Structure 1
Amino acid sequence: MAKILVVEDDPEMGALVAQGLGDEGHAVTVVTDGIAALTAARADPFDAAAIDVMLPEMSGFEICRRLREMGQDLPVILVTARDAVDDRVFGLDAGADDYLTKPFAIAELNARIRAHLRRRAAGSTVVEAADVRLDVVAVRASVGGRDLPLSVKEFSLLRYLIQGSPEARSRRDVLDEVWGSADHFDPTIVDQYVSYVRKKLHAAGAGVRIRTVRGVGYALEVGTAG
């Protein structure tokens, strides 16, 4: 059983989500606004959160950003009726782990929560390649002991490529592992985030690089600076 925070201002939707998650065996706390969400998160540690984007006064994007600033590293799934790529990118950059578009089946939300919790439980605390070190618990990256600033999604992407090295990962594999689903995201979002991480690794003089494997996807290559 996991403790799940649900942030939803529609009482009927909040009740449906709470029932669906509760039927899965989870303990669910439902709040209707950002202040209540942040207060609940400070008072009680949660294992995951499902947050509606369109909320009064404080958006789901802002709630997610503030949770990360508070040091909360729980999996966050943003729920929204908006399906534009820019919105998904904005949410992921705010620190979200996943993005679910309304209308959705409660079974899918449950499946995504299970997947995120399983990955968190199975992961080791430190992942390394050459001079790159990822502290999974603190969600902190470094190159040669110097901090490497990464968003949560960039961190997850680099972690997945390091753990898979030297094997190549397809875009679909990356979407499944890092974004939680290959069916609800445009594969080009992987290319976009690979570009972000490449630039940061190069700027830090890292002893690894992300290599494009034609017809397959991406692989981490160790021993090549930048």
Structure 2
Amino acid sequence: MRILLVEDEDRIASFMASGLTAEGHAVERAGTAAQALGMSFAHEYDLILLDLMLPDGDGREVLQAVRARNSDVPVVVLTALGEIDDKVALLDLGADDYLVKPIAFAELAARVRAAARHGQQSARALSSGELELDTKTRIATCGERSVDLPSREFALLEYLMRHAGQVLTRQQILDAVWGFGFESASNIVDVYVGYLRRKLDEPGRPSVIETVRGAGYRVRA
């Protein structure tokens, strides 16, 4: 999994990152609320580990901002607050789970695995209007039609549908679907959006993928 670790203390961050890396995860670290917001908005993560006490703000604000974008990425909060009322408040804000400091790595690893399972189960079927995407069988259905999509087109459509209602820039799409080796000047995103439109759109009806002039693309929620 690709994990965003939001933790300002170097020692704790190093401890968690090294352990999770050994478990096979790719870990990227943010040390401030501003970094966390920028990274979570710019890139696609499978899980966010979020400390509440950050030098430039409260982790709750980061959590609220992530959920305000309709992102369903699993978020596990790292907190020193152990009272029941505190835990309930965090879950009500949109956290999927929490860990009370000090944290034992075995428990952290188990919570990460549980969050991954929950995320995979909840995100299997994606839909937007008449368009449905099954991420397990990798079948796209548009109305009564089953649409055959090569792997890259499928990955692009999946990314857009996981962020239905959000305007995604070409750079965000490049980073998430093609990785970081492509320059923003490349028109490959436009080319592949064209491929999808030719396969998915119905004559006389609005395109499944909307062009937002000067910004990027959006699949309607």
Question: Which bracket does the TM-score occupy, shorter chain normalised?
Answer: 0.5 to 0.7
1:210-225 to structure 2, matched below 5 A, reads: none
Report Cα offsets for 1:56-107 as digits up to 9, x if no partner. 2321111111111122211100001110112111211111000100111112
Please give the alpha-carbon distance, in whole angstroms, between the structure 2 residues aligned to 1:75 and 1:22.
18
Deviation at 1:46, TM superposition (A): 0.3
Cα-to-partner distance string for 1:169-197 (whole Å, 9 max, x where unaligned): xxxxxxxxxxxxxxxxxxxxxxxxxxxxx
Gaps of 5+ in 2: 127-134, 136-221
Quote the Cα distance in structure 1 between the aligned partners of 2:91 and 2:106.
Answer: 22
Tell me the residue number matched to 2:99.
Answer: 100
Match of 1:68 in 2: 67
Q: Which residue is 2:86 aligned to? A: 87
2:58 is aligned to 59
Alpha-carbon distance between aligned partners in 1 of 2:95 and 2:22, rounded to the nearest angstrom:
25
Distance 1:50 1:27 in 2: 13
| CA–CA distance in structure 1, aligned partners of residues 55 and 4 of structure 2 | 17
Contact 1:6 1:31 in 2 (8 A): yes
**Matched residue, 1:22:** 21
Residue 125 of structure 1: aligned partner: 125
1:47 aligns with 2:50: no
TM superposition shift of 1:116: 1.5
- What is the aligned partner in structure 2 of residue 158 from structure 1? none
Shift of residue 54 of structure 1? 1.3
SS of the residue 2:28 aligns to:
strand
Alignment-mate amino acid for residue 117 of structure 2: R
SS at match of 2:37: helix
- Which structure has the bigger radius of gyration? 2
Percent identical pairs in the alignment equals: 40
SS of alignment partner, residue 104 of structure 1? coil
SS in 2 for 1:120: helix
Q: Distance in 2 between matches of 1:16 and 1:82?
A: 21
In 2, Cα distance between equivalents of 1:98 and 1:105: 15
Q: TM-score, normalised by structure 1?
A: 0.53
CA contact (8 A) 2:34 2:56 kept: no
Superposition CA RMSD, Å:
1.7
In 1: Cα distance, 2:33 partner to 2:85 partner = 22
Per-residue deviation at 1:55?
Answer: 1.4
Q: How many angstroms does 1:113 deviate by?
A: 1.1
Matched pairs, number? 126
Aligned residue in 1 for 2:211: none
Q: Deviations over 1:7-33 (max 9, x none)?
A: 111111111111111111100001111
Runs of 4+ in 1 over 6 A off after TM superposition: none
| Structure 1: distance between partners of 2:120 and 2:30 | 26
**Letter aligned with residue 125 of structure 2:** T
